Amino acid sequence: MKIKETSLKLDISEDTLRYYEKVGLIGPINKVNGIRDYNKEDLKNIEFIKCMRSAGLSINTLSLYMKLLREGSKTIDERKKLLIEQKDLLKIKINEMNETLEKLEYKIKNYETIMNKYERNN
């Protein structure tokens, strides 16, 4: 699958795909006559990277994970450990975001109360 098709299918920019290849997150991507040709495994890896990036994992962490993945089964324990660490960090982040959400909801409710009082007095 060419880069444009891959970009549209996975909703990721062509520039980002090129960047991911440049920094070693994916690839090297097979090229036919100089044109990138993404295979099913590439697409699977890109979807995983996209998901992890949306959860806040760093490029460095993902680069390490993908490097370990390419090294094969001898790195399974190390990859699992890395994913567990990231899961724990994500749980902390989710808790922090939930606390922020509660504060925002409180503030919004407070403003609604103030607005209702103001509207009744006018």
Number of domains in the chain: 2
| Structural domain containing residue 23 | 1-71
Same domain, 13 and 56: yes
Same domain, 7 and 48: yes
0.85 cut: is pTM over it?
no
- Look at 119 and 67; give whichever has higher pLDDT: 67
Give the pLDDT confidence of 24-75 residue by residue, as tens digits: 999 889 999 999 999 999 999 999 999 999 999 999 999 999 999 999 999 9
Q: What angle do CA 89, 93, 95 make, to 5 degrees?
A: 115
Same domain, 26 and 64: yes
Same domain, 33 and 93: no
Same domain, 67 and 90: no
pLDDT reported for residue 54: 92
Same domain, 64 and 82: no
pLDDT reported for residue 117: 83
Count how many Cα atoms sit within 13 Å of the Cα of residue 38 in the half-sphere of its side chain.
Answer: 24
Same domain, 50 and 89: no
pLDDT reported for residue 52: 95
